[in-house]
Amino acid sequence: MPLRGIRPNIVQSIRAFRVQELQDAATQLNQHFLYANLSSAQSKQDILDMIAAQYTFPAHFGKNFDALYDCMTDLVHKSGPQPGFIVVLEHIPAHAKFDKEAREQLLDIFRDAADYWADRKIPFRCFYSFL
């Protein structure tokens, strides 16, 4: 059983998992796999642009944290029944232009999304790493 022992709605450090293992788990569980490599991001706007591109958000994506939350929740919810999500945010930058507060704000969006999906009994696991 993939991800045994990992709560169905959580945001946590990627720790001992490899991205390929998480992708394989998503396939086995028939869940969406969303991956964003943020290693070249230098700012909040870069982060939002990269997530939007790598998660294939719609062209009207507002490129702010509120719009990110909307795309991760309501927009997807309205598109029909969802099997669950395994989300990876790899190499979130940790430097002056994207400081601890900005990183926490970003992760809070995904925590709020996990709560949103938990209320609907849909698994939403988000794994992240810092650069």
Measured distance CA(73)–CA(60) in Å, rounded: 15
Position 106 scores a pLDDT of: 97
Do the Cβ atoms of 123 and 8 come closer than 8 Å? yes
- Mean pLDDT throughout 81-94? 95
Assign 97 a pLDDT band (cuts: 50, 70, 90). confident
112-131 confidence digits (pLDDT tens): 999 999 999 999 999 999 98
Position 96 scores a pLDDT of: 85
Mean pLDDT value across the chain: 93
pTM value? 0.94
The rounded Cα 81 to chain-centroid distance in angstroms is 19
CATH class for the domain made up of 9-130: alpha beta
